Amino acid sequence: MSRILVTGGAGYIGSITVALLLQRGYEVTVLDDCSTGHADAVPANVTFYQGSILDGALVRKALEGCDAVIHFAAKSLVGESVEKPDLYRNNNINGSQILFDEMDGAGVTRIVVSSSAATYGDSKEQPILETHKAHPTNPYGETKLAVDNSLADLAAEENFAAISLRYFNVAGALKGEAGWIAERHNPETHLIPNVLKATKDQPLKIFGTDWKTKDGTCIRDYIHVVDLAEAHVLALDALKAGSHEIINLGSGGGYSVREVVDTASKVVGYEIPAVNVDRRAGDPAVLIASIDKAKSLLQWSPTRNLEAMIRDAYETLKAV
Ligand code: UFG
């Protein structure tokens, strides 16, 4: 039986991927420092090390008995990365390098890595192909690009089998046996949870209404977290020694912030309170994925739409 090390497996996307891996018969080890993840999100039948990927000795221990790695552990907020670029460089670039060095030392050379649409930056071409030249507009995107580049080197020089999955905007939740597994960020900065939490006293802030888009608000490509997690499990089977592939994961279509607010208003049955404020630093105007490569290399297609993402996120809020 195959054992997978999931770094960041106590986080939102990581814990949902762990649940799917277990369903498919994999054994799982999780390494997570719980700086943004939650120890109670790790199931009892998983080997769990609470600590950082910056700790080489712990990474070595966690790799024992594993034949592949899914690497989520990272700082992942665009806005925070603009304020704390050194934190992002240390955690995301140095941490990944320590993980890769330990993998090399242990002879574990198969890895699926969470990368990001933030690597592309402001793109005139939409939808964005994986071959698009990367020009990140924020430190978060720069760190993810640096990690993708080192994986390309590891594939060429050390025969690693690597896939970088470039996520667009992830939302929704998984209803597992023990209840909902959902986004639990503090502070919450992501659009869909903030839309659902908005009240008359604390309305949703719409960041920027003067973008060059159809209604002036930013456009993003939203993907359901369960579709995303399924792609990780499929990616394990698509790994090839000596090869590094970059694969976008999104829906292939875009929604403006206003369209998300309108869809959410329909789902919840009342008008979501919202106010217009200034643009947020580091935001690109439009990000839409081309997902042809995911379809052909992973035999994957998203099956859950924006309404399903919002409905599932709403159910988890009601369940709290
Ligand atoms: N937004 C608001 N109000 C809010 C929160 C967000 O107007 O309260 C807007 C943002 O300005 C942006 C859009 O909603 O235009 C989406 O913002 P999110 O914070 O939900 O997501 P981001 O697009 O900033 O970033 C997310 C992930 C990144 C990833 C990126 C890829 O957090 O890790 O998607 O598209 F890189």
CATH class of the structural domain 3-170+223-248: alpha beta
E-only strand ranges, the chain: 3-7, 27-32, 47-50, 68-71, 110-116, 161-167, 169-171, 174-176, 179-181, 204-207, 219-220, 222-224, 243-249, 255-256, 274-277, 286-287
Q: What is the pLDDT of residue 173?
A: 96
Residue with the larger pLDDT of the pair 185 and 222? 222
pLDDT one-digit tens code per residue, 85-105:
999 999 999 999 999 999 999
Per CATH, the homologous superfamily of domain 177-221+252-319 is UDP-galactose 4-epimerase, domain 1 (3.90.25.10)
Is residue 257 lining ligand 1, measured as CB closer than 6 Å? yes
pLDDT one-digit tens code per residue, 44-89:
999 999 999 999 999 999 999 999 999 999 999 988 999 999 999 9
Annotated catalytic, 120?
no
| Domain locations along the chain | 3-170+223-248, 177-221+252-319
Average pLDDT of every residue of the chain: 96
pLDDT band at 320 (very low <50, low <70, confident <90, very high): low
Residue 279 CA to ligand 1 centre (angstroms): 11
Is residue 168 lining ligand 1, measured as CB closer than 6 Å? yes
Ranking 181-190, 208-217, 235-244 by mean pLDDT, the lowest is 181-190
| Cα gap 189→140, rounded to integer Å | 15
pLDDT one-digit tens code per residue, 165-179:
999 999 999 998 778
pLDDT one-digit tens code per residue, 1-12:
799 999 999 999
pLDDT band at 122 (very low <50, low <70, confident <90, very high): confident
Q: What is the pLDDT of residue 123?
A: 84
- pTM exceeding 0.85: yes
12, 140, 222, 314: the catalytic one is 140
pLDDT one-digit tens code per residue, 131-154:
999 999 899 999 999 999 999 999
Is residue 5 lining ligand 1, measured as CB closer than 6 Å? no
Residue 221: pLDDT over 70: yes
Nearest to 54 by CA among 8, 89, 90: 90
Q: What is the pLDDT of residue 48?
A: 98
